[in-house]
Amino acid sequence: MPRLRRLFPILLSGACASTPTDFDSRRTRYLDLMEGTESHCNEILEDVKLRRGKETVQGRLSAVQKNLEEARQLRYRRVETENSEMDEYFETFFLKLDQLASQDWTAGEGERLWDKLQFNCSICHGRFRD
């Protein structure tokens, strides 16, 4: 028994080394949310091209916002100053998203608005995506 107890911490530390860290699992969730966001954006482009109703586009823009709000809360970066900086990028993004969401995407300007949305995604990607 004493021998087992002595072994146990070793086993435990071995287990920890192979278990994903909290940061890793948060990053996985973050990437899932980003992929979901991209799907919503692709659907928005379809909506616009097929001239689907205003409510459809608004619903998807809300889904983009919801996904990215969750991503923001994850603070998955190991370096805390990066999380704080990313938080500011999210803040700016949400202000732009509000402006974009207040426009009528179904009035013929939808593709131009969609390009603007993509541009705003790329501002943060330019700074933080490897």
Q: Which residues bind ligand HEC (CB under 6 A)?
A: 27, 31, 34-35, 37-38, 41, 64, 68, 86, 89-90, 93, 117, 121, 124-125, 128-129
Q: Which is nearer to ligand HEC, 8 or 128 (CB)?
A: 128
Output the smallest distance, CB 2 to ligand HEC, in A: 45
How far is the C-alpha of 24 from the C-alpha of 15, rounded, in Å? Answer: 15
Output the smallest distance, CB 38 to ligand HEC, in A: 4
In this structure, are residues 106 and 48 in contact, taking their beta carbons and an 8 Å threshold?
yes
DSSP 8-state secondary structure symbol assigned to residue 21: P
In this structure, are residues 76 and 103 in contact, taking their beta carbons and an 8 Å threshold?
no
How far is the C-alpha of 88 from the C-alpha of 26, rounded, in Å? Answer: 19
Output the smallest distance, CB 19 to ligand HEC, in A: 19
